[in-house]
Structure 1
Amino acid sequence: MIDLVIDQRRKDLGGFEVGRVLPYAKRRMVGPFIFFDHMGPAEFAPGFGREVDVRPHPHIGLSTLSYLFEGEMTHRDSVGVTQPIRPGEVNWMTAGRGITHSERFETLRAHGGRMDGIQAWIALPREDEETEPGFEHHDPGALPTYEGGGMWARLIAGEGFGAKSPVTTHSPMFYIHWALQAGAPAQLPAEYPERAAYVARGVVELEGRQLNAGQMAVFVPGQAVTFTAVTDAVVMLLGGEPIGERFLEWNFVSSSKDRLEQAKADWRAGRMKLPDADDKEFIPLPGDPPPPPNPMS
C-alpha cells in the first residue's frame, strides 16, 4: 500500500526553519499538490528580527493554502486583502494569472511564542491557470469536522469522507487534519487515485511500519489504508486527481515553460503590482541583484 516514504528536508529560510516535503525527486506531485512545507515548529522570543518575515513576492498558476497549528501571521496581497491567520483557520489564495503577497509576523514578534503550520501549493488545472487572482479566508467553525473513537478530523479543503469544504477548489482533491489519540485506529479510503499522509506530530503505524513526525507516505491507488496511532499524533491527509505535468521555478507554477519565462520577465521588470499595504520592499528574482534601499522605508 505504501509506494514511497519521503523524509522532510530541513531548510533555513533566514531565521526560520521549514521542513520541505514536496516537490521530491522521486515524486513531484500528489494529486494537484505540488509543494508542501512544514513551517516550524519553532519558538520565538519577543522582538525577533524582521528577516523572518516573507517580503512581497509573486505567484502564478497555483493556489496557496496556509494552515496553522500554533502561532499567527498576517497575509497582505495585491488584490487588496490584509488577513491574519490563526490556528485552525484557512487562508486560500489563488494566484491564477498573477498575484503578489507577503507574510508578516507582527503579532508573534510583539509577544513571542510558537509557530507551527503547513503551507501547501495546489497547481491549477490548465483551463484555470490564467484565472483572475483572488483570496478566501475561512474560520474553523465553517469547516466540516468529525470526532469519535479517539479521532478528531477537520476537512480543510476539497471533498472526503462524505463531506465538502467551503473552500473554492479547482480540481478534485482532499486535504484533512487528523488528531489521533494513542492507540486509535483510522482509515483513509481509496476514493482518489493519488493520496498521501504526512505525520506532523507523533508516531503512527501502518503495514507494520512506523511513520514518525516529518515523514510523508505516498500510497498506491485502489486500496484503503489503515492507521494506528502509536502515540498521540497529528496527520495531514492529502491528494486528489492528477492534473498533468507542471513546471515549477521559484514561486511560479505552469504547464508551459514559456509562461514561466514570461512571469520571471514580468517580475524583473516591475510589471506585477505589489500589495498596497506592503509595497516598500520585495524579494528579487533569484540571481538578480538586490534592489536599492528605499529611502521611504
Structure 2
Amino acid sequence: MLDIVIDARPASLGNGFNVRRILPYRLRRMLGPFIFMDHGGPVSLVPNQISSMDVLPHPHIGLSTVSYLFDGQVTHRDTLGVQQIIRPGEVNWMTAGSGIAHSERFEDPAMLAGGTLEMIQTWVALPEADEEDAPSFDNYQPDKLPIFTDKGIWMRLIAGNAFGLRNDVKTHSPLFYAHVVLQPGTRFGLPLGYPERGTYVAKGTVEVNGNRYGAGQLLVFTPGIDPVMTAIETTTLMLLGGEALGERYIWWNFVSSRRERIEQAKADWLAGRIALPPNDNLEFVPLPKENSRPAGTPPPQPLS
C-alpha cells in the first residue's frame, strides 16, 4: 500500500531560516511532477531576527515555484517587476521557464509584533516542451480556490483537479495539490485517476492500514491502491501527485531535462544574464561552489 515513507530532514536556506526538507529524497526524487518540498516554521522571532530570515534574490529555471502559507505573510519580488504579498489561503505560482530571479522577504508587521510564520513551498517540474517558456507569475486569492467541507473534513484545492473540484490555477501537466484538515476519527482517501499520489502530514497523526504516521512524514502510495487515512487527532495534510514527467536533472535552484542546460544556467547566473528583481537588486545569493551545495541539495543528476 505504501511505496515509501519519507521523513523530513532539517535543512537551512543559508540565512538562519531552517526548514524541513521532504523532496527530493535519495530514494524518491519526484512525486508526479513535484520535485521539491520544504516545510518552513512555525517560527516566531524577535524583531531584530526577522530580516536575517530573508531569502535574497536567487535564480530558477525549468520549474514552477508554488508558495502556500498557513500563517504569517511573505513579500515576493521578481525579475518581471512583480511585487506581491502572499497571505494564508493564497497561492503564489511563479513559472521560471527560461530563467527568473526572485526574493522572499519577511516584512510582516505582525511578525514584528511577535507573530508567527509557517509555509509550504513546492517546485513543480515543467514538461520538456515548456521548459524554455517565458517566465510568468500569478497570485491566486482564496476566493479562486474552491473549498469542500463535510463532517470532520475541510479541504482547499490549491491546484489541479481532485474530488470533482477544479480551479483556474495555471498548471502545465496533470496534477493535484490540496490542503486538508481532518477532525479526530475522520476517514479520508486520495483523488482517483493519478498514477503517483502522496500525503504529507504537516500536523497531527493519521492511521493507514493499522500503522500510524505523524507530522513531518510524506506517505507515497503504491499506484492502483486506494488507501483510507484515519485522523487520530486534528490533522493537517497536504495531498499531492500527478503524472510523471520523466527524467530530470536538478542542481541548486535549477531543473532541466538536459544536463547541459543546468551548466548554462550556472554560467548565466555568474555572468548576470538572469536579471535581478528591479525593486530588489542590491544583493543576491551567489552561485554555490560545486563542493559546498546548500544542505539537502543534490548535485546535477537525473530525477525520475
Is 1:173–1:241's contact at 8 Å kept on the other side of the alignment?
Answer: yes
Alignment of 1:169-248 (within 5 A): 169-248=171-250
Which range moved further: 148-157 or 189-198? 189-198
Residue 7, structure 1, aligned to residue 43, structure 2: no
Distance in 1 (alpha carbons) for counterparts of 2:157 and 2:192? 16
Q: CA deviation at 1:51?
A: 2.3
Question: Displaced runs of 4+ in structure 1, greater than 2 A?
Answer: 108-112
| Contact residue 189 and residue 223 of structure 1 kept, 8 A | no
Instruction: Output the amino acid matched with 1:65.
Output: V
What TM-score do the two structures reach when normalised by structure 2?
A: 0.93
* Counterpart-to-counterpart distance in 2, 1:195 and 1:152: 19
Q: How does 1:46-57 map to 2 (within 5 A)?
A: 46-57=47-58
Note the C-alpha offset of 1:195: 0.5
In 1, are the aligned partners of 2:147 and 2:157 still within 8 Å (CA)?
Answer: yes
CA distance in 2, matches of 1:44, 1:86: 18
- Asked if 1 retains the 8 angstrom alpha-carbon contact of 2:162 and 2:192, the reply is no
Q: Deviations over 1:22-65 (max 9, x none)?
A: 00000000000000000112112223252210000000000000
Q: Percent of aligned pairs with the same residue?
A: 56
Q: Equivalents in 2 of 1:272, 1:223: separation in Å?
A: 44
Cα offset, 1:237, TM superposition: 0.3
- Counterpart of 1:43 in structure 2 is 44
Paired residue secondary structure (1:266) = helix
Q: Which amino acid aligns with 2:148?
A: Y
Give matches, 1:139-178, under 5 Å: 139-178=141-180
Q: CA deviation at 1:163?
A: 1.4
Segment of structure 1 superposing worse, 191-200 or 103-112? 103-112
- Distance in 2, Cα, partners of 1:23 & 1:43: 27
Separation of aligned partners in 2, 1:264 and 1:69 = 33
Deviations 1:157-200 (A, max 9, x none): 11111111211000000001000011111111332000010000
1:282 aligns with: 284
Following the alignment from structure 1 to structure 2, what is the Cα–Cα distance between the partners of residues 12 and 257?
25
Aligned partner letter, 2:162: G
> Does structure 1 conserve the Cα–Cα contact (< 8 Å) formed by 2:21 and 2:38?
yes
| 2:48 aligned counterpart, secondary structure | coil
3-state SS of paired residue (1:262): helix
The equivalent of 2:300 in structure 1 is none
Match of 1:294 in 2: none
Amino acid aligned to 1:184: T
SS of alignment partner, residue 188 of structure 1: coil
Aligned partner of 1:34 in structure 2 is 35
Cα distance in structure 1, aligned partners of 2:28 and 2:272:
34
Determine the structure 2 residue equivalent to 1:59.
Answer: 60
CA contact (8 A) 2:58 2:101 kept: yes
Q: 8 Å contact 2:178–2:240 — kept in the other structure?
A: yes
Instruction: Return the TM-score normalized by structure 1.
Output: 0.95
Tell me how far apart the structure 1 counterparts of residues 119 and 231 of structure 2 sit (CA, whole Å): 20
Deviations 1:227-275 (A, max 9, x none): 1100000000000000001000000000000000000000001111100
- 2:108 maps to 107
Aligned twin of 2:294: none
Aligned residues: 288
Segments of structure 2 that go 5 or more residues without pairing to the other structure are 291-304
Alpha-carbon separation, structure 2, partners of 1:227 and 1:60: 36
Task: Give the AA of the match of 1:89.
Answer: E
Matched residue of 2:69: which SS? strand
Report the counterpart of residue 299 of structure 2 in structure 1.
none
What is aligned with 2:80?
79
1:134 aligns with 2:141: no
Q: Contact 2:206 / 2:231 at 8 angstroms: preserved in 1?
A: yes
**Larger deviation, residues 180-189 vs 257-266:** 180-189
Could you tell me whether the CA contact under 8 Å between 1:47 and 1:112 is conserved in 2?
A: no
- The equivalent of 1:292 in structure 2 is none
Alpha-carbon distance in 2 for matches of 1:231, 1:210: 11
